[in-house]
Structure 1
């Protein structure tokens, strides 16, 4: 089963996206959502096994997200 979702974006971003009609933006959004869910899954597993505070886990999540982004 599939579901539709509406995303609201700022005008400036929309104008930049329109410059690239060859890009399947829905696929870009889907890929980003899958990646975010993957990171959240990892963090949930870590949270169950750690004595870190929620703030420390959030800080780790930010650093992990940046490292993943930098690899691309």
Structure 2
């Protein structure tokens, strides 16, 4: 099994030392597994509030201050680039 080293603040370490009966590596392993489960579930379901939090205020401000015409131009460019990328693929019929 791979080994991982964690850095923790001194005050947290002192509190952990007060409970030598607990296998802290197991606690960390379970916490990581649970976090990964939540992360995998959230890939398909994300609230708009969570999406805004991830984007951050600067990005949201930039989006709201950008004229719609600029988005339309960039969308058209993206469609053209995608067409250029895929038009050389041929489909075979059997």
TM-score bracket, shorter-length normalisation: 0.5 to 0.7
Equivalent position of 2:13 in the other structure: 14
Equivalent position of 1:36 in the other structure: 35
Equivalent position of 1:3 in the other structure: 2
Cα offset, 1:30, TM superposition: 0.2
Matches of 2:6 and 2:43, distance apart in 1: 26
Deviations 1:9-62 (A, max 9, x none): 011000000000000000000000001001001100225xx8x47226x5xxxx
State the superposition RMSD in angstroms: 1.9
Greater relative contact order, per chain length (Cα 8 Å cut-off, separation 6+): 1
Runs of 4+ in 1 over 4 A off after TM superposition: none
Aligned length: 53
